[in-house]
């Protein structure tokens, strides 16, 4: 009996291994292709943002400008306006995309993104207070933003307790309203009401940022993104929930560390460009959908960068003579998406992973 069984299985066994191997390889291949495609999309969007618009720059001209050559008019527009805006858009988009995806996956709720639960607005409130009331600048503003984001994140956690889903989102919405009031109060305290200031800290904007601020964000991301990549190795296990993750040998501290990195990413992004609405909320779910329902932080970051770049381009050129900040554009188009997600029903939107 056993002999016949063995004989029957022997020729098929290698095939089964091959089938499993191929099935396991397929998502990884798909992910690699997806990331490559998104990088291409990002490069395309970047080129459009820098080269096209009211003033068209040819590619040879662009290369010459980067080489340090002075072309009257073009050099100034590219180096002082278009290029810093585009670079900042990419960096901020990556920070918000990855930070938002970390929140959504570790809390296992697509609605628990930092811009909905008030973390972005907390960072913004702290940053604008530091700038307008205390006169800080540079690193100290980023530090204030980090403190504000951490404060709100801890407060939301303390209020929500262990009820990750509903309570957390509602408590976050309440705190977001409070943070918005703080920001509005700061505006009434500044001597001269500055529209640009209001737009940056209430809606998010990449207009008129100096290279120094961009360098600061780049340095912060150069530290935070590798740390996130290291900490996120356990993400697929953390996604299963605290108990299952603990059973598989991934302790809570690993998840907590990942959350901390998410808060930091969002905070440094806000310190540079303000709370650009809904980028953190949108990037994760879009990247997931593109990746056939599997979580992916790199793709989320790339999607975020593309969203901010395209949003900034639309804001700058969609309406003639009107330079809309990117946060207005992402808010105007992101909110309908959130409403659609809610309208699709609780099975998808509110329970998130468990039902999916």
Partner 1 sequence: MSTLPLAREAASGPLGGGRGRRPALPASVAIAVAALVGAAALSLLLGARAVPLDAVWDSSHPLHPVVQARLDRTLLGLAVGAALGLAGALMQGLTRNPLADPGILGVNAGATFAMVVALTLLGTTGLAELLPVAFVGAAVAAFLVHAIASIGREGATPMKLAITGAALTAGLSSWTTGLLLADRKTMESFRFWQVGTIGGRGLDVLLTGLPFLLVGAVLALAGARLLNTLALGEDLARGLGRRTTRDRIVVGLAVVLLAGTATALAGPIAFVGLVVPHVVRSLVGPDHVRVLPFSMLAGGVLVVVADTVGRVVLPPSEVQVGIMAAAVGVPVFIALVRRTGRAL
Q: Which residues contribute to the site for partner 1 (CB under 8 A)? A: 111, 116, 159, 161, 163, 166-167, 169-171, 173-178, 180-181, 184-185, 188-189, 193, 195, 199, 202-203, 277-278, 319, 322, 324-325, 327-332, 334-336, 338-339, 342-347, 350
Burial class (CB in 10 A: 0-12, 13-18, 19+), 43: exposed
Least distance in Å: CB of 174 to partner 1? 4
Report the residue number, 13 or 319, with the smaller CB distance to partner 1: 319
With respect to partner 1, which residue has the nearer C-beta, 284 or 298? 284
Rounded to a whole number of angstroms, the CA Rg of the chain reads 23
In this structure, what are the phi and psi dihedrals at residue 69, rounded to the nearest 5 degrees?
-75, 145
Nearer to partner 1, 116 or 225 (CB): 116
Choice between 54 and 191, CB closer to partner 1:
191
Give the shortest CB-75-to-partner 1 separation in angstroms: 29
Nearer to partner 1, 55 or 166 (CB): 166
Query: At closest approach, how far in Å is the CB of 185 from partner 1?
Result: 5
Place of tokens 């008019």: 73
In whole angstroms, the minimum distance from the beta carbon of 107 to partner 1 comes to: 15
Nearer to partner 1, 3 or 322 (CB): 322
Identify which of residues 52 and 343 has a Cβ nearer to partner 1 in the complex: 343
Give the shortest CB-195-to-partner 1 separation in angstroms: 7
Minimum Å distance from CB 343 to partner 1?
5
Q: Tokens 């299985």: give the residue.
A: 9
Minimum CB–partner distance for residue 47 and partner 1 (Å): 26
Of 46 and 278, CB closest to partner 1: 278
> Shortest distance, CB of residue 293 to partner 1, whole angstroms?
21
């Amino acid at each position: 009996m056993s002999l016949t069984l063995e004989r029957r299985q022997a020729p098929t066994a290698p095939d089964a291994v091959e089938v499993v191997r191929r099935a396991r390889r397929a998502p990884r291949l798909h992910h690699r292709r997806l990331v490559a495609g998104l990088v291409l999309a990002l490069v395309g969007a970047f080129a459009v943002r820098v080269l096209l618009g009211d003033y068209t720059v040819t590619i040879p001209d662009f290369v010459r400008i980067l080489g340090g050559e002075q072309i009257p008019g073009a050099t100034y527009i590219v180096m002082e306006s278009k290029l810093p805006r585009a670079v900042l858009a990419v960096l901020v988009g990556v920070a918000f995309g990855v930070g938002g995806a970390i929140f959504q996956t570790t809390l296992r709720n697509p609605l628990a993104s930092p811009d909905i639960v008030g973390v972005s607005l907390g960072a913004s409130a702290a940053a604008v207070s530091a700038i307008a009331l205390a006169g800080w600048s540079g690193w100290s503003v980023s530090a204030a933003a980090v403190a504000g984001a951490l404060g709100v994140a801890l407060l939301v956690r303390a209020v929500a307790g262990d009820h990750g889903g509903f309570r957390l989102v509602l408590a976050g919405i309440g705190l977001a309203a409070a943070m918005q009031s703080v920001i509005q109060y700061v505006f009434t305290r500044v001597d001269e009401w500055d529209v640009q200031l209001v737009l940056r800290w209430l809606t998010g904007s990449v207009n008129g940022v100096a290279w120094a601020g961009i360098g600061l964000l780049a340095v912060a991301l150069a530290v935070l993104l590798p740390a996130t990549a290291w900490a996120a190795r356990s993400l697929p296990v953390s996604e299963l929930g605290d108990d299952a993750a603990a059973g598989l040998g991934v302790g809570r501290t690993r998840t907590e560390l990942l959350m901390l990195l998410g808060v930091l990413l969002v905070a440094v992004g806000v310190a540079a460009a303000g709370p650009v609405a809904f980028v953190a909320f949108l990037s994760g779910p879009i990247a997931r959908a593109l990746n056939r329902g599997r979580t992916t932080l790199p793709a989320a970051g790339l999607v975020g960068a593309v969203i901010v770049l395209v949003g900034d381009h639309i804001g700058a050129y969609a309406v003639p003579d009107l330079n809309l900040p990117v946060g207005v554009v992402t808010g105007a188009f992101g909110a309908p998406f959130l409403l659609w997600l809610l309208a699709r029903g609780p099975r998808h939107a509110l329970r998130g992973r468990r039902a999916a």
